């Protein structure tokens, strides 16, 4: 690509930019501008900024750049790309070292000789310089931003700030969560550094246009040692009594047997449950029935306060065939209840998927209004076993005083 005599012109879009110092660590010393574009190129500019020093073809489009060291002295350029991989450019050449982040990157920072990448699968992972994974931290929701928090002058801090879509900013020193800052809005961008005269400032840009500046307290403790993971409350550990020791020993010696026994009992329990359930269905005691290969549903409710109650039955044939000659029968204590309605035990034909409603009036004839159980059976002439049963717990009846 010969651009001599032509103005510098890039027809495609830039995706990210970064600077890298040429040969001095100093903030104000000469640096190179490094950019990525949609044409899968990484372009390193001359320090003057008007000429291309080097253009490197990448396997994918770079979206984040991080630099480490000085360009002239073995500096490394890390490029997180849209294909979910991080490529490394060293000495102006694409090295064969590749980090696979298993998702798409949403941010990348270089902290303390490791690359920390936030990805779209809500994970923050850290990789050593050699490409080995150091750790992964799982977040409860989408990560919107990641920023490094590095202070040198007043105190030594090397932390990563991770902004989440629920408005939280989590501060990690290594893999340890140090603190969480809660905000009311989604964070679109944040930058940590010197703001005015204050060194430890964090400027946050919110989704709805707000801008917030947070400053680190001088005596804030950010060291890991004081923030051990896990519950901070001291837990009561009982004394090691003899019984406890014996029990532990027994558990250790017979662990396999104990486990086997437990599994066997568990199997038995499951089998028993399944058997009971099947028999319940077959004997028509459950609200759903499969007795005699039929599929029925019965819903029985009572209405009224007494002495006359209305029993409402809702019957549905869930199978595909119609059922002929089904009848309703009530079983009750004759000294307490008397059935008023007539003709409800006529044989019925139940067509599939249609609701059949029936109302039966029952009178409580007990002088004290005693309550009892009324059982509703649905049966047909093929078997003495009911197709389905419903147990109605009748309420206490109002006594007819007249």
Residues near another protein (CB under 8 A)? 153-154, 195-199, 213, 215, 217-219
Residue 217 or residue 393: which is nearer to another protein going by CB? Answer: 217
| Minimal distance, residue 111 CB to another protein, in Å | 22
CB nearer to another protein: pick between 112 and 198: 198
Give min distance, CB of 217 to another protein, in A. 6
Q: Are 36 and 62 a contacting pair, CB within 8 Å?
A: yes
Nearest distance, CB of residue 179 and another protein, angstroms: 16
Residue 333, Cβ density class (10 Å: 0-12 exposed, 13-18 middle, ≥19 buried): exposed
> How many Cα atoms within 13 Å fall on the side-chain side of residue 237?
3
- Choose between 176 and 195: whose C-beta lies nearer to another protein: 195
Give 376's contacts (C-beta < 8 A, 6+ positions apart). Answer: 298, 300, 311, 313, 328, 329, 330, 389, 390, 391, 392
Dihedral Cα 112, 195, 79, 111, nearest 10 deg: 10
For the CB of residue 109, give the shortest distance to another protein in the complex, in Å: 24
Q: How far is the CB of 218 from another protein (least distance, A)?
A: 6
The b/e string for 68-100 (b: 16+ C-beta within 10 A; e otherwise) is: bebbeeebbbbbbbebbbbbbbeeeebeeeebe
Q: Supply the minimum distance, in Å, between the C-beta of residue 147 and another protein.
A: 19
Which residue, 89 or 190, has its beta carbon nearer to another protein? 190
* Closer residue to another protein (CB): 220 or 261: 220
Rounded Cα–Cα distance for residues 82 and 106 (Å): 10
CB 383 within 8 A of CB 325: no
Nearer to another protein, 97 or 201 (CB): 201
Cis status, amide bond into 87, omega within 30 of 0 = no
């Amino acid at each position: 690509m010969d651009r001599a005599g032509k103005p510098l012109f890039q027809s495609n879009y830039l995706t990210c930019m970064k600077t890298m110092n040429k040969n001095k660590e100093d903030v104000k010393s000469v640096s190179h501008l490094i950019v990525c574009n949609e044409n899968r190129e990484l372009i390193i500019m001359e320090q003057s900024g008007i000429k291309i020093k080097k253009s490197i073809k990448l396997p994918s489009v770079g979206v984040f750049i991080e630099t480490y060291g000085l360009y002239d002295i073995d500096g490394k350029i890390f490029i997180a790309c849209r294909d979910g991989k991080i490529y490394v450019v060293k000495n102006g050449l694409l090295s064969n070292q590749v980090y696979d982040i298993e998702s798409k990157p949403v941010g990348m920072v270089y902290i303390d000789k490791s690359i920390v990448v936030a990805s779209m699968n809500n994970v923050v992972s850290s990789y050593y310089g050699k490409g080995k994974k150091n750790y992964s931290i799982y977040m409860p929701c989408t990560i919107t931003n990641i920023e490094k928090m590095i202070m040198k002058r007043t105190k030594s801090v090397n932390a990563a700030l991770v902004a989440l879509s629920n408005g939280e900013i989590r501060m990690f020193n290594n893999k340890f969560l140090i603190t969480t800052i809660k905000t009311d809005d989604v964070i679109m961008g944040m930058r940590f550094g010197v703001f005015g005269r204050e060194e430890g400032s964090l400027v946050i840009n919110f989704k709805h246009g707000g801008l917030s500046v947070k400053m680190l307290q001088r005596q804030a403790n950010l060291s890991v040692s004081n923030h051990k993971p896990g519950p901070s409350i001291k837990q009561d550990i009982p004394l090691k009594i003899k019984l406890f020791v014996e029990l532990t020993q027994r558990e250790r010696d017979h662990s396999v047997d104990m486990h086997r026994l437990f599994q066997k009992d568990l199997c038995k329990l499951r089998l028993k449950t399944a058997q009971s359930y099947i028999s319940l269905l077959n004997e028509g005691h459950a609200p759903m029935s499969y007795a005699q290969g039929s599929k029925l549903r019965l819903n029985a409710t009572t209405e009224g306060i007494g002495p006359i109650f209305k029993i409402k039955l809702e019957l549905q044939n869930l199978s595909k065939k119609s059922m002929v000659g089904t009848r309703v029968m009530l079983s009750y204590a004759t000294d307490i209840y008397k059935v008023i309605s007539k003709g409800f035990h006529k044989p019925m034909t139940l067509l599939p998927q249609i609701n059949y409603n029936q109302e039966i009036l029952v009178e409580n004839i007990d002088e004290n209004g005693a309550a009892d159980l009324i059982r509703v059976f649905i049966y047909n002439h093929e078997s003495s076993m009911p197709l389905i049963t419903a147990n109605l717990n009748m309420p206490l009846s109002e006594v007819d005083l007249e």
